[in-house]
């Protein structure tokens, strides 16, 4: 059990200076979060000032989290916002937003609902931790790093056992997750257990052990890591397999949506608000999605006619799904294409941006369980200006990764999407850490989707098939609004959601199933993309219209991403203030 002494107490600056008090409070909260986060790379772990791994379903985590958020909320209210600088006022508003979000989760009893329905096939710790321990995020530079990660593995194994306990309580209390979700988690568990130890992501650290670790230390680490995998990690996955197969699966819900779970509608409303940072209802988001699907279909039809394809749009989708010329043959070919696209983008970046990240951008293969997961994800490197931001791309089943989408993927995940948005903020030492590392889904994914739309301004989409790929990806995000709300609020079946997506995108049937299962597993998150993108585009149009000749798109982009990750309401207020003061290059 982690000691309460290892988590900082409220000792922020006792001064009348509002700026100092806010900075001290934000630093305190960030330090607490670093020590409570199970995958934190904070060096306090190495120095022994924090637990190696904190179970996010433990009573320790639960009690500390809500106590901290309530205490911090009261401390924030005592700070005079009017006495802060423009950037600090934004940080104040963002912090207040996140505090209220978490407190609401607890006040409505929904945190406990989450712990009683703990399985997540898309972003669950059982897949995130193997990625973390093998994909370059966990540090393995020194002997101390290796010993720290042994302790992390022990904590992870204990977490796996606790999830079974919580899920069993959930079954008793009537919190039943969907059968398809449980089947997918079970498949991931089976895949992990089928790996020889030497192929396991948990063994990867041994394969890449630095030359500075030699002799007896090297042999000892090999012995210790093998023992942990054999005696703790694999048995933990084995206990999940037995529990899921024998106890949970026979009782799992036949319906895929939140609406069918006890307290599920209330939880979904919170999840939608959390991810979109708006108060839009499921019905409003559903209708918005239908409108966007209709608009984008017209654009797709135009491209179909431009390339002279004689069949209808459904036939065009099938043509793209089945034509080998639209798919790479090897991971190396795919990475080469990504690099070539990136090289075409960079010369045009100064037209749209005042600044570029110092850190490079790379594409690497997804480390673990590729055949069990989706397309991939972007992860920011450490804030040293040298380590790359990485798109971990799923190289499994290359015949479902269409070449016409690669320009759009590069814009979204890398240049100028997530890599710009996250890395520029991280490299700006003047920003509070809260803004550097914020995680408002509508902002981060909305920016990524908005970045896709910059393709023509950056010299891309000259090939009509790449333009179609862009529309196809935009359609995917529009469809998400419809199917996510359809599944979780409008009682759609999984099959109805699959058919809707197949009818409106060129995605391969297998990928469509994976996408739909992701929405089942992680409700609300998929709605954030379009909601965020449409707001960023709306604000750009508003600024251009009101500022007229004074409008410079580079200034606008600086306004959007120059103060890190913001909830949509905070971003809208910031841009409105900027417009009111006449535009320009200032932060606020």
d(C-alpha 412, C-alpha 475), whole Å: 14
**pLDDT given at position 46:** 46
- Name the residue with higher pLDDT: 506 or 120: 120
d(C-alpha 493, C-alpha 210), whole Å: 51
d(C-alpha 414, C-alpha 409), whole Å: 8
pLDDT bin (cut points 50, 70, 90) of residue 510 is confident
Pairing of strands 361-365, 389-393: parallel
**pLDDT given at position 365:** 82
**pLDDT given at position 87:** 93
d(C-alpha 10, C-alpha 26), whole Å: 11
Contact present, 392 and 367 (Cβ < 8 Å) = yes
**pLDDT given at position 5:** 41
Contact present, 351 and 404 (Cβ < 8 Å) = no
**pLDDT given at position 368:** 54
What does the DSSP 8-state code read for residue 84? S
d(C-alpha 155, C-alpha 413), whole Å: 31
d(C-alpha 472, C-alpha 465), whole Å: 10
Question: What would the pLDDT profile of 239-296 be if each residue is shown by its tens digit?
Answer: 999 999 999 999 999 999 999 999 999 999 999 999 999 999 999 999 999 999 999 9
**pLDDT given at position 183:** 97
Average pLDDT over residues 50-73: 93
Every domain of the chain and the residues it spans: 4-116, 125-260, 280-529
**pLDDT given at position 4:** 43
Q: Would the pLDDT of 473 be above 50?
A: yes
What does the DSSP 8-state code read for residue 362? E
CA 148 to chain centre: 25
- Name the residue with higher pLDDT: 269 or 7: 269
Average pLDDT over residues 315-332: 91
Q: Would the pLDDT of 159 be above 90?
A: yes
Contact present, 423 and 357 (Cβ < 8 Å) = yes
- Quickly tell me which residue has 């992680």 as its tokens: 522
What is the number of residues in the chain?
588
Contact present, 118 and 163 (Cβ < 8 Å) = yes
What does the DSSP 8-state code read for residue 29? H
pLDDT bin (cut points 50, 70, 90) of residue 1 is very low
**pLDDT given at position 41:** 56
Question: What would the pLDDT profile of 512-538 be if each residue is shown by its tens digit?
Answer: 998 999 999 999 999 999 999 999 999
d(C-alpha 383, C-alpha 191), whole Å: 34
Whether the bond between 416 and the residue before it is cis, its omega within 30 degrees of 0, is: yes
pTM for the predicted model, two decimal places:
0.86
For 97-123, give one letter per residue: b (16+ CB within 10 A) or e: bbbebbeebeeeebbbbbbbbbbbbbe
- Name the residue with higher pLDDT: 331 or 239: 239
Average pLDDT over residues 489-499: 98
Average pLDDT over residues 316-323: 92
**pLDDT given at position 39:** 76
Average pLDDT over residues 154-167: 97
- Name the residue with higher pLDDT: 36 or 284: 284
* Cα 183 to Cα 130, 255, 563, distances in angstroms: 20, 13, 42
**pLDDT given at position 586:** 62
DSSP-assigned letters across all residues of 387-415: SPEEEEE--SSGGGSBGGGHHHHHHHHTT
Question: What would the pLDDT profile of 67-109 be if each residue is shown by its tens digit?
Answer: 999 999 999 999 999 999 999 999 999 999 999 999 999 999 9
pLDDT bin (cut points 50, 70, 90) of residue 2 is very low
Q: What element of type H or E holds 536?
A: helix 528-547
Long-range contacts of the stretch 281-284 (C-beta < 8 A, 24+): 282/485, 282/488, 282/489, 282/490, 283/485, 283/489
Cα 474-477-478 angle, rounded to 5 deg: 85
Q: Would the pLDDT of 393 be above 90?
A: no
Average pLDDT over residues 155-164: 97
SS3 162: helix
Q: Comparing C-alpha atoms, which of 91, 41, 95, 94 is closest to residue 71?
A: 95
**pLDDT given at position 76:** 98
CA 185 to chain centre: 19
Contact present, 551 and 583 (Cβ < 8 Å) = yes
Two tokens at 407?
């320009």
The Cβ of residue 376 has, within 10 Å, a number of other Cβ atoms equal to 21
As a whole number, the mean pLDDT across the chain is 91
pLDDT bin (cut points 50, 70, 90) of residue 373 is low
**pLDDT given at position 370:** 44
Average pLDDT over residues 567-588: 87
d(C-alpha 72, C-alpha 92), whole Å: 12
d(C-alpha 415, C-alpha 412), whole Å: 7
Q: Which region among 9-13, 199-203, 584-588 has the lowest average model confidence (pLDDT)?
A: 9-13
Beta strands in 345-463 (DSSP E): 361-365, 376-379, 389-393
Q: Would the pLDDT of 565 be above 50?
A: yes
**pLDDT given at position 38:** 74
d(C-alpha 576, C-alpha 169), whole Å: 48
Beta bridge partners of 393: 365, 376
- Name the residue with higher pLDDT: 375 or 189: 189
């Amino acid at each position: 059990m982690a000691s309460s002494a290892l988590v900082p107490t409220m000792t922020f600056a006792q001064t009348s200076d509002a700026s100092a008090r806010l900075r001290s409070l934000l630093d305190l909260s960030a330090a607490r979060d670093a020590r409570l986060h199970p995958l934190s790379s904070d060096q306090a772990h190495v120095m022994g000032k924090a637990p190696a791994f904190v179970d996010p379903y433990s009573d320790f985590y639960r009690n500390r989290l809500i106590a901290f958020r309530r205490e911090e909320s009261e401390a924030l209210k005592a700070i005079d916002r009017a006495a802060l600088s423009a950037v600090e006022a934004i940080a104040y508003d963002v912090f207040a937003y996140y505090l209220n979000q978490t407190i609401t989760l607890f006040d409505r009893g929904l945190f406990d609902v989450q712990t009683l329905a703990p399985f997540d096939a898309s972003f669950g710790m059982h897949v995130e931790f193997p990625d973390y321990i093998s994909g370059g995020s966990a540090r393995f530079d020194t002997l101390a790093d290796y010993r720290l990660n042994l302790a992390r593995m022990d904590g992870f194994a204990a977490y796996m056992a606790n999830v079974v306990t919580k899920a069993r309580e959930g079954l008793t209390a009537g919190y039943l997750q969907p059968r398809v979700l449980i089947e997918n988690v079970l498949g991931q568990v089976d895949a992990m257990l089928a790996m020889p130890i030497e192929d396991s992501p948990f063994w990867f650290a041994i394969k890449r052990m630095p030359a500075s670790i030699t002799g007896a230390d090297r042999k000892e680490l090999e012995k210790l890591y093998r023992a942990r995998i054999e005696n703790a990690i694999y048995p933990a996955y084995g206990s999940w397999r037995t529990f899921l197969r024998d106890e949970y699966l026979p009782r799992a819900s036949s319906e895929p949506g939140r609406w069918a779970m006890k307290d599920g509608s209330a939880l979904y409303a919170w999840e939608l608000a959390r991810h979109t940072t708006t108060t839009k209802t499921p019905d409003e988001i559903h209708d918005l999605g239908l409108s966007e699907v209709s608009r984008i279909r017209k654009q797709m039809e135009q491209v179909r006619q431009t390339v002279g394809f004689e069949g209808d749009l459904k036939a065009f989708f099938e043509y793209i799904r089945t034509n080998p010329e639209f798919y790479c043959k090897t991971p190396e070919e795919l990475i080469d294409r990504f690099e070539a696209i990136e090289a075409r983008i960079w010369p045009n970046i100064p037209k749209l941006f005042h600044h570029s990240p110092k850190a490079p951008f790379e594409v690497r293969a997804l480390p673990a369980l590729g055949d069990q997961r989706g397309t991939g994800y972007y992860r920011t490197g450490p804030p040293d200006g040298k380590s790359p931001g990485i798109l971990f791309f799923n190289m499994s089943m290359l015949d479902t990764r269409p070449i016409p989408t690669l320009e759009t993927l590069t814009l979204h995940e890398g240049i100028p999407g997530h890599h710009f948005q996250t890395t520029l903020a991280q490299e700006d030492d003047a920003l509070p850490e809260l803004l550097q590392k914020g995680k408002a889904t509508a902002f981060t994914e909305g920016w990524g989707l908005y970045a896709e739309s910059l393709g023509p301004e950056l010299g891309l989409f000259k090939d009509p098939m790449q333009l179609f790929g862009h529309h196809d990806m935009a359609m995917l995000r529009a469809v998400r609004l419809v199917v996510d709300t359809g599944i979780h609020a409008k009682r759609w079946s999984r099959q109805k959601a699959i058919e809707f997506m197949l009818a409106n995108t060129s995605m391969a049937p297998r990928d469509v199933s994976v996408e739909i299962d992701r929405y089942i597993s992680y409700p609300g998150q998929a709605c954030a993309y379009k909601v965020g993108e449409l707001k960023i585009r709306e604000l750009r149009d508003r600024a251009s219209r009101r500022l007229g000749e004074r409008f410079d798109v580079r200034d606008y982009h600086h306004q959007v991403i120059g103060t890190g990750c913001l909830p949509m309401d905070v971003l809208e207020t910031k841009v409105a203030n900027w417009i009111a003061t006449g535009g320009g290059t200032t932060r606020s």
